[in-house]
Amino acid sequence: MIKERMSGNEAVAYAMKQINPDVMPAFPITPSTELPQFVSSYIANGEMDTEFIPVESEHSAMSAAIGAEAAGARTMTATSSAGLALMWEMLYVAASNRLPIALALVNRALSGPLNINCEHSDSMGARDSGWIQIYAEDNQEAYDNFIQAYRIAEHKDVMLPIMICQDGFIISHGVQNIELLEDETVKKFVGEYEPAHYLLKKEEPMAVGPYAVSCYGMEAKRAQAQGMMNAKQVILDVALEYEKISGRKYGFYEGYCLEDAEYAIVAIGSVCGTTKDAIDALRAKGMKVGLLKVRVFRPFPGREFAEALKNCKAIAIMDRAESFSANGGPLAAELSAALFQAKSKAEVLKIMYGLNGRDFTVEDAEKLFDDLRDLAENGSQETEEYRYIGLRE
């Protein structure tokens, strides 16, 4: 192991260097700009032989990534916020063509109002585009997740693009201690990309992205959906292999003091560290509280999440993206459905927090756990089920 201090962007860029894919088309946008910047420096210094393609927009970046991957080249890119939104059309093209592109997404609020701080509205807006989505709590996880990305996406039973997400500025620019793997270890773990079908395979002429008439289109979507279903087991298998070389354990989620918890918060990303501090303080006072940290959002492991929460009396589901359903955010919607299917009797709060980079504090988490206890003990008659935390009244 190599002990270092790195920002999240530096850590992911270092993983990119170690993987050394064939092609990287990219266009800069805050706060992911450093990723193509670091990679281009590595290339200029002779530390990578990746073909870097400067393009005129993020739509072009994903279009070039699709072309490169379809030709048989291992391809990556990076973006944030409006950059992902400009890729929207091509995200669906990449997924439906079963192209295992890796995208490093540094989560940032979508407009408006114009804002450059952390929010999950960019990736959550793309949640139904057919991309695998994995989120990080900190810099170490951002690095580890990216190294696992290609092993998941390129698996013959999956063949789907993958989005590795980290919170903008909080992770991307915050510096933490980190453990890196040796270059040769990463190279051996990731392996070479050997696609079965690609455009430059001369003995197999083919088309990518042809028009699908009604007789075939639905079958294509069903096959794509099967790839996402298969990804669940592949994600776990790859995590087990990664644990052997890193000592770090990953799965669909992390349960923090969850086994005997009566009250739980469910959240994604950097806010989980803050929540863990609140849990430690409340546990010291004898309150049975816990956290379910969502790592994998696509495919959505609803059954596994519901099983992990089965002993809870009350649950707060935290969203850093407003879906404008007038009933909560995307994580709340999907997890509520999973809890219903599991016949959970837990009370549920749907919490909106951290929009446009608004702070979520340890005190906010402690207050939320108190609200959950009150909800479980006194019922929901006086409780606002869908609410904002940290809002200036």
Q: Based on the fold, state whether residues 179 and 258 are members of the same structural domain.
A: no
The answer to whether 118 and 267 are in contact (CB under 8 A) is no
Q: Based on the fold, state whether residues 155 and 285 are members of the same structural domain.
A: no
- The stretch 257-263 carries a mean pLDDT of 98
Q: Domain range spanning residue 235?
A: 2-246
In a domain, residue 21? The reply is: yes
Strands 162-167, 175-180: pairing kind: unpaired
Chain position carrying tokens 């295992």 = 100
Q: Based on the fold, state whether residues 134 and 33 are members of the same structural domain.
A: yes
In a domain, residue 355? The reply is: yes
Q: Which string of DSSP letters, residue by residue, matches 244-276?
A: HHHS----SEEEES-TT-SEEEEEETTHHHHHH
Could you tell me the CATH number of the domain that includes residue 375?
Answer: 3.40.50.920
169: region left, alpha or beta (phi > 0 left; psi from -120 to 50 alpha): left
- The stretch 87-104 carries a mean pLDDT of 98
Q: Which pLDDT band, with edges at 50, 70 and 90, does 382 fall under?
A: low
Give the H/E segment covering residue 74. Answer: none
Asked if residue 247 has pLDDT above 70, the reply is yes
Q: Based on the fold, state whether residues 322 and 209 are members of the same structural domain.
A: no
C-alpha to C-alpha distances, 267 to 62, 164, 237, 272, 278, nearest whole angstrom: 29, 17, 24, 6, 14
Q: Based on the fold, state whether residues 338 and 283 are members of the same structural domain.
A: yes
> What pLDDT is recorded for position 210?
87
* Count of domains for the chain: 2
> What pLDDT is recorded for position 161?
99
Q: Based on the fold, state whether residues 222 and 266 are members of the same structural domain.
A: no
Q: Which pLDDT band, with edges at 50, 70 and 90, does 155 fall under?
A: very high
Q: Based on the fold, state whether residues 237 and 264 are members of the same structural domain.
A: no
Last residue of a domain, one of 212, 227, 246: 246
Asked if residue 105 has pLDDT above 90, the reply is yes
Give the H/E segment covering residue 52. Answer: strand 51-54
Q: Which pLDDT band, with edges at 50, 70 and 90, does 378 fall under?
A: confident
- The stretch 251-262 carries a mean pLDDT of 98
In a domain, residue 393? The reply is: no
What gap in Å lies between CA 321 and CA 383, rounded to an integer? 22
Alpha helices by DSSP H, listed for the chain, are 8-19, 34-44, 58-70, 81-86, 88-96, 121-125, 139-153, 183-190, 214-246, 271-284, 302-308, 330-341, 362-378
Torsion (CA) 211, 214, 216, 220 in degrees, nearest 10: 80
In a domain, residue 158? The reply is: yes
- The stretch 22-43 carries a mean pLDDT of 98
Asked if residue 58 has pLDDT above 90, the reply is yes
Q: Based on the fold, state whether residues 112 and 219 are members of the same structural domain.
A: yes
Q: What are phi and psi of 372, to 5 degrees?
A: -65, -40
Task: Tell me how far apart the 2 most distant CA atoms of the chain are, in Å.
Answer: 70
* Neighbour-count burial of 311, counting CB atoms closer than 10 A to its CB (0-12 exposed, 13-18 middle, 19+ buried): middle
C-alpha to C-alpha distances, 173 to 5, 105, 167, 304, 355, nearest whole angstrom: 12, 13, 9, 32, 18
Last residue of a domain, one of 186, 217, 246: 246
Could you tell me the CATH number of the domain that includes residue 73?
Answer: 3.40.50.970
> What pLDDT is recorded for position 380?
67
* Neighbour-count burial of 345, counting CB atoms closer than 10 A to its CB (0-12 exposed, 13-18 middle, 19+ buried): exposed
Q: Which pLDDT band, with edges at 50, 70 and 90, does 379 fall under?
A: confident
Least confident of 110-119, 205-214, 225-234, 279-288: 205-214
Q: Based on the fold, state whether residues 232 and 261 are members of the same structural domain.
A: no
> What pLDDT is recorded for position 393?
78
What gap in Å lies between CA 61 and CA 222, rounded to an integer? 27
Single-letter code of the amino acid located at 346 = A
Asked if residue 233 has pLDDT above 80, the reply is yes
264-322 residue pLDDT tens: 999 999 999 999 999 999 999 999 999 999 999 999 999 999 999 999 999 999 999 99
Last residue of a domain, one of 212, 228, 246: 246
Chain position carrying tokens 């450059």 = 116
In a domain, residue 74? The reply is: yes
* Rg of the chain over all Cα atoms, to the nearest angstrom: 21
The answer to whether 51 and 22 are in contact (CB under 8 A) is yes
Q: Which pLDDT band, with edges at 50, 70 and 90, does 384 fall under?
A: confident
The answer to whether 108 and 119 are in contact (CB under 8 A) is yes
Asked if residue 25 has pLDDT above 70, the reply is yes
325-343 residue pLDDT tens: 999 999 999 999 999 999 9
338-368 residue pLDDT tens: 999 999 999 999 999 999 999 999 999 999 9
Q: Based on the fold, state whether residues 205 and 76 are members of the same structural domain.
A: yes
> What pLDDT is recorded for position 381?
59
Give the H/E segment covering residue 349. Answer: strand 347-352
Asked if residue 16 has pLDDT above 70, the reply is yes
